[in-house]
Amino acid sequence: MNLDIIVGDTIGKVSGILLRPPDAWASYVLAHGAGAGMRHRFMESTAQALAERGIATLRYQFPYVEAGTRRPDPPGVLEAAVRAAVARAREIAPDLPLFAGGKSLGGRMTSNAMARRPLEGVLGLVFLGYPLHPPKQPAVTRAEPLDRVESPMLFLQGTRDDLADLGLMTSVCNRLGPKATLHVVEGADHSFAVLKRSGRTATEVMGELALATAEWCRAIARDPEGVGRTMVMPPSLRSG
């Protein structure tokens, strides 16, 4: 279902797409990354895979994409769009436990908005490739707002992600403690693409992402206060 989201009097409205399966038991506000909008193939595949597992999604455009430009809006505008989308999701699906997050920039802006002021009704955040630092410039400064997020967070990260050194990402999750869950996707890059020699298909990787998200969201929905941290590491990084 196509819909409009009013971001504010000075910003205007942006487009959104609601995909709600008949058996929906949760809702996820899904923001896109910096280089592509809500209709990108990855975003559509994510929404469809989650729908197959009973999770409704509300995808939406950031204002700069809606305007047809490539330069991202200032953080304040992006965060305002996040808040507007979350409010719209509560309005159209008040019966469903609510989660928020997104791909790369979309996830980061969602976490920044949550750190600044809690997003009403959101039980937890799901990040599809959190952009911890610029490409091949390892650092953890972008993780600072995460310390101020009180809700549970799920980080889905690939081992070949050049925007999130896995050692640093692991240390950030350790620092965040029980509120952080890290699910590592073996061989995946920032776009969750894997090399042909891995023997895995894009469909299989998407299935892993959707299953991990669904299992985590279900656990949070059942007991928001009782879910501890789970570190899911690939065999190549396990010791012993």
Nearest to 99 by CA among 200, 178, 26: 26
DSSP state of 118: -
pLDDT of residue 239: 33
Which residue, chain included where needed, has tokens 């091949």? Answer: 136
Nearest to 129 by CA among 39, 203, 35, 222: 35
Right CATH for 2-237 from 3.30.2290.10, 3.20.20.70, 3.40.50.1820, 3.30.465.10: 3.40.50.1820
- Looking at the DSSP bridge assignments, the partners of residue 27 are 56, 98
Using alpha carbons, list the distances in angstroms from residue 124 to 82, 129, 137, 155, 220: 14, 16, 28, 11, 7
Q: How far apart are CA 84 and CA 110, in angstroms?
A: 11
Calculate the CA 147 to chain-centre distance.
Answer: 17
pLDDT by position in tens, the chain (length 240) = 999 999 987 889 999 999 999 999 999 999 999 989 999 999 999 999 999 999 999 999 999 999 999 999 999 999 999 999 999 999 999 999 999 999 999 999 999 999 999 999 999 999 999 999 999 899 999 999 999 999 999 999 999 999 999 999 999 999 999 999 999 999 999 999 999 999 999 999 999 999 999 999 999 999 877 655 555 555 444 333
Cβ neighbours around 65 below 10 Å, total: 23
- Rounded (10°) CA dihedral 161, 123, 29, 187: 20
How is residue 198 written in tokens? 């891995």
Residue spans per domain, the chain:
2-237
User: Model pTM?
Assistant: 0.93
